[in-house]
Structure 1
């Protein structure tokens, strides 16, 4: 499986933390959950870290079964829509955004 992540490195602008969260849940999650081929959508919000920087306001992690599924999602109309909406989110955010694709191996937990 593969997981494509969008890292929002930085912070919501002071005073806009709640607006940032609301915007993500109301305007972007409905689009992200429509990406073709996506098997799971997770929105991760940093609660704590063992370093002060970098801070990640949010990490979007979308699981796909294959690289081909990722390419299909990236070429989709809904992804184009989400990029346009994300441009509005950037107004509430101080930082940068970058993407990474991880190959993910999954292992069953050992029962002791």
Structure 2
């Protein structure tokens, strides 16, 4: 299993919260759920943070069965359809967005 994440490190610009939420809920989340081969799409928001932890507006986590499936999704028309709304979302946000792809093989389950 592979989990591709997008970290939105920073904050939504004051006064843009409603537009940010609307764009997520009405446009981007429905598109993200259409990525071919995606087994799960989660939008994570901080509930509790350690003192001194960086601030994240959200983390997007998309699970794929393998890297080849993820690569096909990232080459899909759906990905292209997310570009413009993603750029608008970033314009409502102060910070940076970066991606990390994790190997999600569950070592705890294998050890148990």
TM score, norm. by length of structure 1:
0.90
- Using a 3 Å threshold, how does the CA distance of structure 1 residues 15 and 53 change in structure 2: closer, same or farther? farther
Q: How many residues align?
A: 109
CA RMSD in angstroms, aligned pairs only = 1.6
What corresponds to 1:91 in structure 2? 91
Tell me the distance in 2 between the aligned counterparts of 1:17 and 1:70. Answer: 30
What corresponds to 2:43 in structure 1? 43
SS at match of 2:100: strand
Q: Which runs of 5+ in 1 are unaligned?
A: none
SS at match of 1:46: coil
- Using a 3 Å threshold, how does the CA distance of structure 1 residues 47 and 15 change in structure 2: closer, same or farther? farther
Shift in Å, 1:53: 4.0
**Which consecutive aligned stretches of 4+ in structure 1 deviate over 2 angstroms post-superposition?**
105-108
